[in-house]
């Protein structure tokens, strides 16, 4: 039987059937050790600009990836065609690739005792039963509110609303074959404001959630986009100096992302991390703990198992400032002679402790500093920890926001920056799987005029 694109969307059972079929073909080809991942998703995205629907895009996509192992030799192949003939060709392609590979004693399927055998209901599937015209009307409302709230000259640079629903299955020749369905929905607005001299600034606001009922309101999104944009008017450079730096919650998750990347198994066994061999070492202040919570109901990254089928579980990656876990998939765990941590494919929902202070309370003791609200560029070296990025934000003067700042660079070293965290706010945004409040760092170099 031939499987078409339209008959697999939203159906975990059908994807499991396809996965089982390709594993049977692998066995017939003499490949006794194999794993397969199958996914299919259907999405709708609309963009409105200046009260006109600019684009409507319906996305239907499906993919299958199979990996076979032959005495430590690994071969992988992919396809978007789920027909029987295509599945056979894909298995043969993976088999041929494996014959040309070098044997790696660490390659292979995860041990069966690590595979997930308890599947909790995580509230991941929350369809948004709206038609295209309804989304267009909602986008127009977001845009209209943004323009009505503006006190300076503003124009819309577009409101985009997207919804998607899809299923994913993972199966192995060891008998694991599980699938689930999940949704993702978002609304974003971008505005452009001009000052009296004609100089323009761009700002944005967005909301994202698996459940459309939990998205922020159209009025709030539109108003926040307008407010954030206007706040940037009159931005100017400041002189080069050393200042306390507050990473707003909008950008603070990126800083934690660098830490998590440095703790990944691959970075550890390749010795390409500024946190090499850091397990058990204190690298953050004692009030900082970083937890992974993969089973949050409706969480943006919630899952019962990772991309190898390994059971996910709550863990503290950092406990009172001390590294307590690396982030390991099966391969890196074997290389490091450790246990896998259920993180093949990355981390899930990350939560960071805080000092129960608002952003205003964090700023109030600062005589002069910089609140960073946007970062640009990729000047981060995860091997050395050297950090240098373009930034915009606001000057802090005597505990209050003074004026917007642009075209500056902030620089330091991640190891020192993490150690110099003074406070973490209670203002975490919920649009990211890594949720952390604003971060106050003792001092960094700000390069300006």
- 225 and 252 in a single domain? The answer is no
pLDDT digits (tens, 9 = 90+) for 84-114: 999 999 999 999 999 998 999 999 999 999 9
Q: How confident is the model at residue 2 (pLDDT cuts 50, 70, 90)?
A: very low
Report CA-CA distances (Å) from 414 to 256, 261, 275, 304, 332. 10, 12, 10, 32, 24
pLDDT digits (tens, 9 = 90+) for 400-410: 999 999 999 99
Asked if the model's pLDDT at residue 7 lies above 60, the reply is no
CA-CA distance, 270 to 231, in Å (whole number)?
A: 44
Question: Domain containing 361: what range?
Answer: 235-449
Query: What CATH number is associated with residue 156?
Result: 3.30.2290.10
Tokens of 203: 């700002």
- 115 and 160 in a single domain? The answer is yes
Q: 9: which DSSP letter?
A: T
CA-CA distance, 300 to 16, in Å (whole number)?
A: 23
> For the chain, what's the residue count?
449
- 300 and 356 in a single domain? The answer is yes
Asked if the model's pLDDT at residue 10 lies above 80, the reply is no
- 176 and 274 in a single domain? The answer is no
In the predicted model, what is the mean pLDDT of the chain?
95
Tokens of 122: 């995580």
What is the pTM for the complete model shown? Answer: 0.93
- 197 and 331 in a single domain? The answer is no
180, 195, 229 — which closes off a domain? 229
Which positions ≥6 away from 211 have C-beta within 8 Å? Answer: 123, 126, 183, 185, 298
């Amino acid at each position: 039987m031939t499987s078409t694109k339209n008959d697999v969307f939203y159906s975990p059972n059908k994807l499991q059937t396809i996965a089982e079929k390709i594993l049977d073909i692998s066995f017939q080809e003499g490949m006794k050790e194999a794993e397969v991942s199958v996914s299919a998703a259907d999405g709708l995205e609309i963009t409105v600009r200046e009260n006109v629907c600019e684009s409507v895009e319906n996305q239907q996509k499906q993919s299958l990836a199979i990996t076979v192992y032959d005495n430590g030799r690994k071969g992988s192949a992919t396809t978007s065609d789920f027909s029987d003939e295509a599945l056979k060709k894909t298995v043969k392609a993976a088999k041929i690739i494996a014959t040309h590979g070098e044997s790696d004693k660490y390659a292979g399927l995860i041990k069966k005792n690590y595979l997930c055998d308890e599947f909790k209901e995580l509230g991941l599937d929350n369809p948004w039963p709206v038609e295209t015209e309804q989304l267009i009307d909602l986008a127009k409302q977001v845009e209209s509110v943004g323009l009505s709230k503006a006190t300076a000259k503003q124009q819309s640079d577009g409101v985009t609303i997207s919804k998607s629903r899809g299923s994913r299955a993972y199966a192995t020749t060891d008998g694991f074959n599980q699938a689930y369905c999940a949704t993702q929905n978002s609304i974003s607005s971008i505005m452009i404001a001009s000052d009296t001299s004609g100089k323009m600034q761009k700002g944005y606001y967005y909301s994202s959630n698996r459940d459309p009922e939990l998205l922020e309101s159209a009025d709030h999104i539109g108003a926040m986009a307008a407010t954030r944009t206007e706040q940037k008017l009159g931005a100017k450079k400041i002189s080069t100096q050393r200042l306390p730096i507050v990473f707003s919650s909008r950008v603070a998750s990126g800083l934690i992302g660098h830490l998590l990347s440095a703790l990944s198994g691959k970075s550890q066994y390749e010795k390409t991390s500024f946190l090499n061999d850091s397990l058990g070492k204190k690298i953050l202040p004692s009030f900082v703990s970083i937890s992974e919570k993969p089973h949050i109901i409706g969480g943006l990254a919630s899952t019962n198992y990772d991309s190898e089928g390994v059971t996910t579980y709550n863990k503290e990656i950092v406990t009172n400032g001390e590294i307590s876990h690396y982030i390991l998939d099966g391969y890196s765990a074997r290389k490091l002679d450790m246990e896998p941590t259920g993180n093949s494919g990355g981390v899930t929902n990350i939560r960071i402790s805080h000092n129960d202070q608002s952003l205003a309370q964090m700023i109030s003791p600062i005589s002069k500093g910089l609140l960073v609200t946007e970062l640009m560029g990729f000047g981060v070296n995860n091997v050395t920890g050297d950090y240098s990025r373009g930034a915009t934000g606001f000057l802090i003067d005597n505990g209050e926001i003074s004026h917007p700042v642009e075209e500056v660079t902030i620089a330091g070293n991640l190891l020192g920056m993490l150690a110099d965290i003074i406070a973490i706010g209670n203002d975490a945004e919920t649009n990211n799987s890594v949720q952390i409040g604003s971060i106050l760092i003792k001092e960094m170099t700000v390069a300006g005029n």
